Amino acid sequence: MEYIGALVIGIIVFIGLFLLLREVNCWYWKINERISLIQEQNQLLRKIASSGNTYIGVESNPIHGKMNTSSSGHIVTQPNPSINYDVEPDIERIKSDLIGQKIPGWMFSYLSEFKSSEILKVAKSTDTIEYHVKFNLIDSNSSNVHDCELTLIYIHNDKGWILNDLNTLYIT
């Protein structure tokens, strides 16, 4: 009987120490503060989501304006008035439109990342142009050179030629 009483007291002491030390551990590692910050972020994200703001990536890019995605997941840009969108995109315009875009294994951030570029193939219809483009990219952090081929689809609407879709064929 003494053994059972000692076991019960030991369990109660263990639970008490666990609760006390848990609170000290949470305070020391600022876990409670992190939880409150995450809850605040969630509230802000819910507020943004309920407002209908669907912009992704950079909010305003000086090269090609604001970006968002359509319901089909395609890239949609709001044109920058300083660019003549009625002219079919050339390689310099394509590179500019890629700034701020992300593909698996690469984030296009600077024009200086493009060591060389070449349009390999162009397919046109009345309101769509599909470019097959090859790039040699320089990693600004490691100075490594990567080969990349992309398919870019531009559509023509009342705002001109706009990048609509981007598909990665490969990147080394």
Residue-wise pLDDT tens digits, 49-65:
776 544 444 333 444 44
Stated as kind and residue range, the H or E segment containing 93 is helix 91-98
**Total domains, the chain:** 2
Q: Could you tell me the pTM of the whole model?
A: 0.53
Distance, CA of 98 to CA of 89 (rounded, Å): 12
Per the listing, tokens 């949609």 go with 76
Burial profile 110-129: b = 16 or more Cβ within 10 angstroms, e = fewer: eeebbeebeeeeeeeeeeeb
Q: Does residue 28 carry a pLDDT above 90?
A: no
Q: Are residues 31 and 77 in the same domain?
A: no
Displacement of CA 32 from its chain's centroid (Å): 29
pLDDT at residue 80 in the model: 58
Task: Report DSSP state, residue 89.
Answer: P
pLDDT mean over 105-126: 92
Note whether residue 61 is domain-resident. Answer: no
CATH number at residue 121: 3.10.450
Percentage of residues in the chain having pLDDT higher than 70: 79
* Domain membership of residue 139 as a residue range: 66-171
Q: Are residues 78 and 31 in the same domain?
A: no
Q: Are residues 135 and 78 in the same domain?
A: yes
Beta strands, E only, 25-144: 66-69, 75-78, 102-103, 106-107, 114-124, 128-138
Q: Are residues 19 and 83 in the same domain?
A: no
